[in-house]
Amino acid sequence: MPCPKMARLIAVPAALAFFALTSRPSAALSYTRHVLSNGVIVLVAEQRAVPMVVIQGLIEAGSRRDPIGKEGLASLTADLLTEGAGTRSAADLSRELDFLGARIETSAETDYAVASLVTLSRQLDRALALFVDVLTRPSFPATEVQRRREAALAAIRAEQDNPGALAQRKFLEVVFGNTPYGHPPIGSAEHVPRLERKDVVDFYQQYYRPNGTILAITGDVNSADILRRLEEALAHWTAREVEPFRYPEVLPSSERIAVIEKPLTQANLVVGHRGVARNNPDFYALTVMNFILGGGGFTSRLVESVRVQGGLAYSVGSFFTANQFPGTFQVSLQTKTASLADALSRVCREVARIRSQLVSEEEIENAKLYLTGSFPLRLDSNSKVAAFLAQVEFFGLGPNFVEEYLNRIRAVTREDVQRVAQTYLKPEDLRLVVVGAVDAASLPQPSPCPPSSNVP
Amino acid sequence: MRWRPAVWLWFVWLCAAPTWASAASYQERVREHQLANGLKVLLLEEHKAPVVVFQVWYRVGSRNEELGKTGLSHLLEHLMFKGTEKRGPEEYSRIIQRNGGNENAFTDSDNTTYFATLASDRIEVVLDLESDRMVNLRFGEDQFRPEHQVVIEERRLRTEDNPAAALFELLAATAYVAHPYGWPIIGWMDDLRQATREDALAYYRLHYAPNNAFLVMVGDFDSQQMIAAVEHWFGPLPRGAEPPKVRAVEPEQKGERRALLRRPAELPFVAIVHHVPNLKHPDAPALEVLSAILAEGKSSRLYERLVYRKRLARSAGAQYDYTQHDPGLFTLYAQPMPGKSAAELERALLAEVRELQQQPVSARELEKAKNTLEAGFLLAQDSLFYQALLLGQYEIADRWQRIDDYVPAIRAVTAQDVQRVARQYLAADNRTVATLEPLPLPPGKRVESGLPAGPLH
């Protein structure tokens, strides 16, 4: 950490969120799907190359389930799973895991909570017992609740030194308002202090349930053996019903441009609006469109205009966060304060251009070759395969997802790209957040991309 | 430390268990081949997925630079994508992408590394591209100018606007008085601004040649065939002149140094470094175990005591530069919880150092630290990319064959070794401390954004 390597491009974290959903399995990927008697869905891919086992657990207990006024509860609950479980205190759990050389990590995303285990296969028995305790027998000691709450508040405070995180937080608020995707899972300085142990226990009781849980297992395991062990180890965990999640209506915010003033050398910019759900039939055409616009590594139009031609930013890209319910479309970049207007107008121009003109034959061909050809790269490790399988199951993408993905990407035409650009990119709806030493009065009004800039 | 009886028995059982299963050694699995022009090739077949990771490592990094021209290694890394005699700007990236591959590069103090990951049937594409730009790089002022600005933006993003990164930069500059590890890999801002196309091209001609590089390939291929392909693409390249050696040696530190960074920030930060030897020295494994005792996992001393029990730190950690080419640093760092000061954290970190110097660690804690290191080493082999990275790092620091020494050397470390290296290297006279003191945000300080005032229509 002290001495970071300088890479040619930092991966835009949010862009990974997009690609995580579009991960491409190799046609050779084989796995089995099972449902335990209490409803846990188990996916197993045996891969014996490395003597290790990975379990990726997804629980329908993400931050979208946070009650209004208790934002941050799902995240606090997930954090606390490892802070005391079964007969073990937090410190005991940590020592045992470290002694085994195994790792259990828990966190809350928007749609789901994640609980993962990585262990050497020869320690699987002991590590699995700890994992089952963490998932099904957390004890939520009062002192730990208080400690993790303080830690969450400190992390929120530390965001003040991370302009990208600040911009993202404000952008979610502007786009989603008070609705479930409108806050980062960690919650806010206003709401986290209100979270009590009782809230955590209630949240856990309500949403952590076997029939809302997916376990994707890869590595050096025998499928029949691990299923038998899980059936036994999870037998005490009984199925419960819960009100299905419904996304409330989002009222468009009147705030089109928001500035957070900070004494920085760069303006950190996020511009975008509401996006699509993962099950949108246009998802594949949007994937190709976004690749050409700003998703495609070093060759996208945004990189070409803002970085290669303009020299204005180190990192620039666009992405859709395709969650179970419509997420965001956004473009983000950082540029020296004096270049903000230039960079923003280039973004506006590219958004307008992909709507008004067909992309070239070469561009669509390149995008499709990359999106289909890079399939095997997404699945070259146990960790990647486990994460991929869990997502395929969570989003209901089906057992033939691999083939379907490849076929549907190949079928996208230039006209499809223009149609989805016109349908899902809405210059008149764009919201802009800037963090930096910027005077709000100097920004274009009333909209980040005024119609005059929409001339390709 | 308090242990519950059940846990205690558990550990006794584990301690008595036989040594951990480990995969076949790297020396059994890696094939080394040397071309007549001096290019070395390391090949590791791994057939679990139809993928190949390709990396080319140049033995040049910020260590090879000079004051006034810092940052040239990294600037050149960016410019390497700007074309060759037969390929245009960014064509490298487009070709890799059309073949379903990912590509990127990174610069470190000792090396500059370019990499691509491709489906195994496409690997020849990258052999063609990399052999071309190893000797035929060409770009004009029109490509140089914007990329130069991109790198300056990168420095703004990573360092100027990141308080902790700015602190680490100041810390290294204070800890080293004679060795190039004292300046940042990305370079000082004014050096960067003054860098020219000619500087970059001269640097390229000096350092980029087959005899100053090696290839690492891990994945789904046949080594015999791959050697033939590498010979075809790289064999004809001419051997270059030997690049100048780095002569700088850091003199022994005699007395603690301190640095203070006062700038707008939300939370303070403190970092402490000590000069230490690298893996070429017999004390390296004990230093590695020491770093695990301090910072590996949530039961490590810094986490369990400073973060968990005392709630002094929001985060705390340690790092040991095991595989740097020249002697590096042993780092301790912590970010205080809101309301706690950097001075309190410094005292707490140094109290941990003192305890390690005064009392030998218990057998259980030593075993736990070794287990985390060994498991971490084995689990990382899940990633093809990581295995290639490991081979490259060891080859840069010493010889790749030494990877196989890692686990046995860690296993052989005793509690006395840990105590001895803590005393010898984490001594006050060998220490540099840097503190970030947050200043409140200056009110109303704005920079012209280039945007016209008022509505735009």
What DSSP string runs through B12-42? Answer: HHHHHSPPPP-PPPHHHHEEEEE-TTS-EEE
Q: Are strands B102-107 and B112-119 parallel, antiparallel or unpaired?
A: antiparallel
To which H or E segment does residue A116 belong?
strand A113-120
Q: How high is the pLDDT of residue B6?
A: 31
Hey, of A98, A186, A368, A409, which one would you mutate to test binding to chain B, going by the most B CBs within 10 A of its CB?
A98
Greater model confidence, B22 or B9: B22
Amino acid at A178: N
pLDDT at B3 over 50: no
Catalytic residue among B46, B65, B77, B169: B77
Q: In angstroms, what separates the C-alpha of B88 from chain A's closest C-alpha?
A: 13
pLDDT at A5 over 70: no
Q: What residues in A contact B145, CB-CB < 8 Å?
A: 311
pLDDT per position as a tens digit, A318-347: 999 989 999 999 999 999 999 999 999 999
pLDDT at A4 over 50: no
DSSP character at residue B261 = E
Label residue A7 by pLDDT band (50, 70, 90): low
Q: Do A315 and B11 touch (CB under 8 A)?
A: no
Q: Are strands B431-439 and B257-264 parallel, antiparallel or unpaired?
A: parallel
Which residue from A minimizes the CA distance to B440? Answer: A263
pLDDT at B20 over 90: no
Q: Do A297 and B97 touch (CB under 8 A)?
A: yes
The tokens for B402 are 């030494």
Which residue from B minimizes the CA distance to A95? Answer: B299
Query: Contact B55/B113 with Cβ under 8 angstroms?
Result: yes
Mean pLDDT score, B228-235: 97
Q: What is the mean pLDDT of chain B?
A: 92
Q: In angstroms, what separates the C-alpha of B234 from chain A's closest C-alpha?
A: 24
Beta bridge partners of A426: none
pLDDT at A26 over 70: no
**CB-based contacts of A442, cutoff 8 Å, min separation 6:** B449, B451, B452, B453
Which residue from A minimizes the CA distance to B168? Answer: A2
Query: Contact B217/B55 with Cβ under 8 angstroms?
Result: yes
The tokens for B144 are 């140089």
The question of whether B28 is a catalytic residue gets the answer: no
Which residue from B minimizes the CA distance to A91? Answer: B299
- Count residue pairs from A and B with Cβ separation < 8 A: 312
Query: Contact B182/B109 with Cβ under 8 angstroms?
Result: no
Q: What residues in A contact B183, CB-CB < 8 Å?
A: none
Q: Do B161 and A299 touch (CB under 8 A)?
A: no
For chain B, give the percent of residues with pLDDT over 90. 91
Q: Do B338 and A450 touch (CB under 8 A)?
A: no
Q: Do A6 and B158 touch (CB under 8 A)?
A: yes
Helix (H, G, I), strand (E, B) or coil at B240: coil
Give the burial class of A121: count Cβ atoms within 10 A of its Cβ; 0-12 exposed, 13-18 middle, 19 or more buried: middle
pLDDT at A309 over 80: yes
The Cα–Cα gap between B221 and B226 comes to: 7
Label residue A451 by pLDDT band (50, 70, 90): confident
pLDDT at B143 over 80: yes
Residue labelled with tokens 């730990």: A144
The tokens for B180 are 């190039």
Q: In angstroms, what separates the C-alpha of A36 from chain B's closest C-alpha?
A: 28
The Cα–Cα gap between A5 and B111 comes to: 10
Label residue A29 by pLDDT band (50, 70, 90): confident
The Cα–Cα gap between A383 and B7 comes to: 29
User: Distance between terminal CA atoms of chain A?
Assistant: 43
Candidates B21, B74, B98; nearest CB to A370? B98
Q: How high is the pLDDT of residue A9?
A: 54
Mean pLDDT score, A392-420: 95
Residue A200's nearest CA partner among A114, A62, A73 is A73
pLDDT at B5 over 70: no
Query: Contact A187/A76 with Cβ under 8 angstroms?
Result: yes
To which H or E segment does residue B433 belong?
strand B431-439
pLDDT at A381 over 60: yes
Omega into A244 within 30° of 0, i.e. cis? no
Label residue A299 by pLDDT band (50, 70, 90): very high
Q: Do B450 and A338 touch (CB under 8 A)?
A: yes
pLDDT at A455 over 50: no
CA distances from A62 to A146, A183, A452 (A): 21, 12, 41
Q: What residues in B contact A264, CB-CB < 8 Å?
A: 160-161
For chain A, give the percent of residues with pLDDT over 90. 86
Omega into A141 within 30° of 0, i.e. cis? no
Give the ipTM of the model, two decimals please: 0.92
pLDDT per position as a tens digit, A257-269: 999 999 999 999 9
To which H or E segment does residue A335 belong?
strand A328-336
Mean pLDDT score, B440-452: 53
Query: Contact A386/A214 with Cβ under 8 angstroms?
Result: no
Query: Contact B439/B265 with Cβ under 8 angstroms?
Result: yes
Label residue A11 by pLDDT band (50, 70, 90): very low
Query: Contact A42/A35 with Cβ under 8 angstroms?
Result: yes
pLDDT at A209 over 70: yes
Mean pLDDT score, A352-380: 96
Give the burial class of B171: count Cβ atoms within 10 A of its Cβ; 0-12 exposed, 13-18 middle, 19 or more buried: buried
Query: Contact A306/A333 with Cβ under 8 angstroms?
Result: yes
Query: Contact B302/B318 with Cβ under 8 angstroms?
Result: yes
Q: Do A338 and B148 touch (CB under 8 A)?
A: no
Q: In angstroms, what separates the C-alpha of B36 from chain A's closest C-alpha?
A: 31
pLDDT per position as a tens digit, B283-330: 999 999 999 999 999 999 999 999 999 999 999 999 999 999 999 999
The tokens for A346 are 């280039």
Mean pLDDT score, A226-254: 95
The Cα–Cα gap between A70 and B351 comes to: 39
For chain B, give the percent of residues with pLDDT over 70. 91
Q: How high is the pLDDT of residue A8?
A: 60
CA distances from B424 to A64, B256, B430 (A): 53, 14, 9
The tokens for B237 are 């390249």
The Cα–Cα gap between A174 and A166 comes to: 12
The tokens for A56 are 């990726």
Q: In angstroms, what separates the C-alpha of A313 from chain B's closest C-alpha?
A: 6
Side by side, which strands form the sheet with A328-336?
Answer: A257-261, A431-436, A266-274, A328-336, A316-320
Candidates B21, B23, B102; nearest CB to A377? B102
Candidates B14, B106, B186; nearest CB to A99? B14
Amino acid at B185: I
φ and ψ of B57, to 5 deg: -110, 120
Q: What residues in A contact B269, CB-CB < 8 Å?
A: none
Candidates B100, B297, B372; nearest CB to A374? B100
Helix (H, G, I), strand (E, B) or coil at B207: helix
Q: In angstroms, what separates the C-alpha of B41 from chain A's closest C-alpha?
A: 22
To which H or E segment does residue B376 belong?
helix B363-379
pLDDT at B275 over 50: yes
Query: Contact B268/B167 with Cβ under 8 angstroms?
Result: no
Q: Do B299 and A122 touch (CB under 8 A)?
A: no
Q: Mapped to the 3 state alphabet, what secondary structure does A277-325 carry?
A: CCCCCCHHHHHHHHHHHHHCHHHCHHHHHHHHHCCCCCCEEEEECCCCC
φ and ψ of B130, to 5 deg: -75, -35
DSSP string, B71-104: THHHHHHHHTTS-BSSS-TTHHHHHHHHTT-EEE
Mean pLDDT lowest among A46-50, A227-231, B21-25, B332-336: B21-25
Q: What residues in A contact B381, CB-CB < 8 Å?
A: 50
Q: What residues in A contact B372, CB-CB < 8 Å?
A: 98, 101
Q: What residues in A contact B154, CB-CB < 8 Å?
A: 6, 314
Supply the angle between the helices A13-21 and A382-394 in degrees, to the nearest 10.
Answer: 70
Residue labelled with tokens 């530390």: A158
Side by side, which strands form the sheet with A103-108?
Answer: A32-35, A41-46, A213-219, A52-59, A113-120, A103-108
Q: Do B11 and A312 touch (CB under 8 A)?
A: no
The Cα–Cα gap between B42 and B356 comes to: 40
The number of angstroms, rounded, from the C-alpha of A52 to the middle of its chain's C-alpha atoms is: 25
Candidates B106, B303, B447; nearest CB to A437? B447
Q: In angstroms, what separates the C-alpha of B139 from chain A's closest C-alpha?
A: 13
Q: How high is the pLDDT of residue B293?
A: 98
Q: How many residues in chain B? A: 457
Q: Do B456 and A296 touch (CB under 8 A)?
A: no
Residue B105's nearest CA partner among B46, B60, B68 is B60
β strands within B101-212, DSSP E: 102-107, 112-119
The Cα–Cα gap between A10 and A27 comes to: 30
The Cα–Cα gap between B256 and A256 comes to: 53
Q: How high is the pLDDT of residue A226?
A: 97
Q: What is the mean pLDDT of chain A?
A: 92
Q: How high is the pLDDT of residue A445?
A: 77
Which residue from B minimizes the CA distance to A267? Answer: B449
Q: How high is the pLDDT of residue A6?
A: 57
Q: How many CB atoms lie within 10 A of CB B211?
A: 18
Q: How high is the pLDDT of residue B443?
A: 55
Query: Contact A453/A352 with Cβ under 8 angstroms?
Result: yes
Query: Contact B152/B257 with Cβ under 8 angstroms?
Result: no
Q: Do A160 and B450 touch (CB under 8 A)?
A: no
Beta bridge partners of A317: A332
Q: How high is the pLDDT of residue A322?
A: 83
Candidates B3, B117, B331; nearest CB to A377? B117
Q: How high is the pLDDT of residue A13?
A: 32
Label residue B244 by pLDDT band (50, 70, 90): very high
